[in-house]
């Protein structure tokens, strides 16, 4: 009865939070019993792009986060290398966050955008991959981490990459899985192996996803950047569903269904939320700027978008079919596609409806006073029927909201 009441109240507020129990205990057949705490689905995963920052434990709030993914490390001489002078210290500090969050799992992400060529070269032969695999195990043990996230963007699809990337990627994942399973037995803890996966159909053609899926614990689908400065017109960059203005366009739902049709279990799929927007200039007012010609000028963090919501020049619009907000400044012809509290809550509802593995977001430091990450946690609690705060702090004057 309480769950029905929760659903009714939430619908009146803005939308319906689906109260479906999608939790399952991970199956870990190869490990000693009593030596680990399995994760329970669905999960919340936070990418943290540290860069040149100095981490301070007192400033890190990861309430509701199950997996923290530290980004990035690079590949140097077929080994995992650090990028910034403070990385080693920061990784040690991040490890110590378990004092406050003892159940959190901490991964390190290897690669990222622009690293396809070095992945391709490292995976060319057995001996080079063996060096990398051995070093991956050493790295996670040294920093007391819980595994690695392989972020190869993207096998065989970039300049100076190879057709053999397709099978070599599978070989790399198989060898990593074997090595981490061996280390798990030796250390009495579960080492996770994940990938940051492309959220477009072509990625599935360039990878052997049916062979890779059993080797991974989770697939983090990068369901953002559907549109960006590489497009000559605007669009939703991280929409949940297709817009009725572009029914055949990209969406979280479309690519999720594609992965499932390829045989990937729904419970392994972690969909992505973007804590940043994509911006265009010289956009005409037709359609409030959506799907109009414009000049893309890059990304903008949610922390920088929130102040714009208080500027009367900017009006927030809501695409009720795509479940996505946009921001348009008619006077200056500026258009922004972004994520907000309402859209991330819809994505959380979606993972419960579809029994997916969870949600991840890129990235922690782009949030505005933790408002998006708090919305994610709040909606998780609502779906589990254990939370009664139905407020939706959209950080925008309601008169500017048009649906």
135 CB neighbour count, 10 Å cutoff: 18
Stretch (H or E) spanning 360 = strand 358-362
Q: How far is CA 1 from CA 4, 6, 378, 381, in A?
A: 5, 9, 20, 17
What confidence category does residue 387 fall into, taking pLDDT thresholds of 50, 70 and 90?
low
- % of the chain at pLDDT higher than 90: 84
Domains and CATH numbers, the chain: 2-30+40-274+345-396 (3.20.20.80)
Q: Which DSSP letter does residue 140 get?
A: H
Within 10 angstroms of residue 369's Cβ, the number of other Cβ atoms is 12
CB 18 within 8 A of CB 352: yes
Confidence of residue 38 (pLDDT cuts 50, 70, 90): low
pLDDT band at 9; cut points 50, 70, 90: very low
* CA torsion angle 67 69 75 78 (round to 10): -10
The strand pairing partners of 314, in sequence order, are: 329
For residues 369 and 10, the model is more confident at 369
pLDDT at 7 over 50: no
- Give the integer Cα–Cα distance in Å for 243 and 250: 9
pLDDT tens digits, residue range 279-292? Answer: 999 999 999 999 99
The SS3 call for residue 25 is strand
pLDDT value for 219: 98
Q: Which two tokens stand for residue 137?
A: 């195990």
163 catalytic per annotation: no
Read off the pLDDT band of 25 (50, 70, 90): very low
Residue 28, token pair as written in the block: 């870990």
Q: One of 117, 153, 163, 186 is an active-site residue; which one? A: 153
Q: Which pLDDT band holds residue 389 (cuts at 50, 70, 90)?
A: low
Query: pLDDT above 70 covers what percent of the chain?
Result: 86
Contact 18, 379 (CB under 8 A): no
User: Picking from 76-85, 256-265, 269-278, 380-389, which range would have the lowest pLDDT averaged per residue?
Assistant: 380-389
Side-chain-side CA neighbours of 257 within 13 Å: the count stands at 9
Q: Is the pLDDT of residue 390 over 60?
A: no
Indicate whether 399 pLDDT > 90. no
pLDDT in tens, 252-282: 999 999 999 999 999 999 999 999 999 999 9
What's the pLDDT at 160? Answer: 86
pLDDT one-digit tens code per residue, 156-204: 998 889 999 999 999 999 999 999 999 999 999 999 999 999 999 999 9
- For range 91-120, the mean pLDDT: 96
């Amino acid at each position: 009865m309480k769950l029905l009441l929760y659903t009714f109240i939430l619908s009146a507020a803005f939308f319906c939070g689906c109260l479906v129990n999608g939790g399952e205990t991970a199956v870990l057949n190869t490990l000693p019993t009593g030596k680990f705490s399995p994760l329970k689905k669905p999960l919340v995963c936070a990418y943290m792009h540290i860069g040149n920052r100095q981490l301070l434990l007192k400033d890190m709030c990861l309430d509701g986060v199950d997996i923290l993914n530290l980004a990035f490390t690079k590949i140097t001489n077929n080994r995992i290398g650090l990028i910034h002078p403070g990385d080693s210290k920061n990784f040690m500090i991040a490890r110590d966050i378990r004092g406050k969050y003892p159940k959190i799992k901490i991964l390190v992400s290897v690669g990222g955008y622009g690293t396809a060529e070095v992945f391709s070269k490292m995976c060319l032969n057995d001996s080079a991959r063996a060096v990398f695999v051995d070093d991956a195990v050493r790295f996670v043990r040294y920093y007391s981490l819980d595994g690695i996230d392989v972020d190869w963007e993207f096998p065989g699809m970039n300049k100076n990459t190879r057709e053999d990337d397709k099978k070599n990627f599978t070989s790399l994942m198989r060898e990593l899985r074997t090595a981490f399973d061996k280390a798990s037995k030796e250390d009495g803890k579960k080492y996770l192996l994940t990938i940051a996966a492309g959220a477009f159909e072509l990625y599935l053609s360039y990878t052997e996803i049916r062979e890779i899926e059993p080797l991974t614990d989770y697939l983090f689908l990068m369901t953002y950047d559907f549109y960006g400065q590489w497009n000559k017109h605007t669009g939703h960059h991280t929409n949940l569903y297709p817009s009725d203005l572009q029914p055949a366009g990209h969406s979280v739902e479309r690519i999720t269904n594609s992965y499932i049709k390829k045989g990937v279990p729904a419970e392994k799929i972690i969909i992505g939320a973007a804590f940043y927007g994509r911006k265009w200039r010289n956009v005409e007012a037709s359609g409030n700027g959506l799907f109009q010609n414009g000049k893309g000028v890059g990304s903008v963090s949610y922390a920088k978008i929130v102040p714009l919501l208080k500027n009367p020049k900017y009006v927030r619009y809501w695409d009720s079919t795509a479940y996505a907000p946009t921001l348009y400044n008619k006077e200056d012809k500026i258009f922004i596609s972004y994520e907000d509290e309402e859209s991330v809550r819809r994505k959380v509802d979606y993972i419960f409806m579809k029994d997916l593995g969870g949600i991840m977001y890129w990235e922690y430091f782009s949030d505005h006073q933790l408002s998006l990450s708090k919305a994610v946690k709040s909606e998780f609690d609502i779906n589990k029927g254990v939370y009664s705060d139905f407020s939706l702090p959209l950080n925008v004057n309601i008169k500017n909201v048009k649906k």
